[in-house]
Amino acid sequence: MNAQKFVAKGIYSTVVGIISSILLAAIKAIAGILGNSYALIADAIESFSDVVTSLIVLVGLKIATKPADQDHPYGHGKAEPLAAIVVSLALMAAAIIISVQSIYEIITPHHAPAPFTLLVLVIVVIVKESLFRFVFKVGESIESTVIKTDAWHHRSDAITSSFAFVGISVALIGGEGYEMADDWAALCASGIIIYNAYKLAAIGLKEVMDTAPPHNIQESVKKLASSVEGVLSLDKCLVRKMGLDFFVDLHVIVDGKVSVYEGHEIAHKVKDKIKSEFPRITDVLVHIEPDDNLDFK
């Protein structure tokens, strides 16, 4: 139920982003064509790519929350970071397209952009940066890699729009000979987008490779397990993230003289306490070890 609630938040933020991206992309494309600004047209392309990647995010979230089955006993959580990787690659592709077209525009003589395009860009930057903060906050709250990646699409849009604003301003102030300034701005922005896409793809890859989550989660799990009556100490504590959920593998040391039944009860208490404190932890595998025979592990 918790996973479904988190997914609902993620889907809501993604849908808001999709609707906003469609409206802004249309406005930028029209303003770019009428105002003779390739930086704005490139910005519109980036916004349209946001729509496609946000749809990928929705699909990834839906698959990630599907229940475990015979072929996927640990669930479908890996779909979430995989979707993040796909989104990052799509972001890279859009940036490469923009950079190639920017170079073409730089070497092709054309008129300077119209002044009204600056107002459009100011609106776009404000809206897209606000969207980034909103979506990223949702991604942080539900610890979703793909939602945070989707948020960066909005910031990338804000970055390209900021560069376009500077480029068009230079073209208008500089006059003749500075017409390609907004094209250089689009080229510089594409470089920043590629860099951010690379960082986001790296995060998704780490999660697919079961890289350990933030250290504070492991420390909290250890503290809770150690506080359970009958637990003398811990030998191992492994935590991994699977989509929106976490899985824990614990080696708990107890008095070697307790019965199998008592050891089993201690293990259940450890598991129940951890899961009650961390609803995002789906399962806790507890291995009981005797304190007087640590060679047998």
Choose the weakest-confidence range: 44-48, 236-240, 244-248.
44-48
pLDDT of amino acid 1: 43
Q: How far apart are CA 56 and CA 76, in angstroms?
A: 15
Q: What are the angstrom distances between the C-alpha of 212 and each of 57, 82, 176, 207?
A: 23, 17, 56, 8
3-state secondary structure of 110: coil
Of residues 233 and 145, more confidence is placed in 233
| Strands (DSSP E) found in 34-160 | none
Question: How high is the pLDDT of residue 151?
Answer: 84
> Can you give the pLDDT at residue 287?
92
Does the pLDDT of residue 296 top 60, yes or no? no
- Here the contacts of 21-26 (C-beta below 8 Å, separation 24 or greater) are 21/47, 21/48, 21/50, 21/51, 21/54, 21/154, 21/157, 22/47, 22/51, 24/124, 24/127, 24/128, 24/157, 25/50, 25/51
Strands 233-242 and 245-254: antiparallel
Mean pLDDT, the chain, rounded, equals 82
262 or 151, greater pLDDT: 262
- The more confidently predicted of residues 148 and 253 is 253
Domains and CATH numbers, the chain: 2-208 (1.20.1510.10), 215-290 (3.30.70.1350)
For residue 297, the model assigns a pLDDT of: 44
Residue 3 has pLDDT above 60, yes or no: no
Helix count (H) and strand count (E) of the chain?
8, 3
Per-residue model confidence as pLDDT tens digits over 159-209? 878 887 888 888 888 877 777 787 787 788 788 778 878 877 887 788 788
Give the pLDDT mean for 88-93. Answer: 82
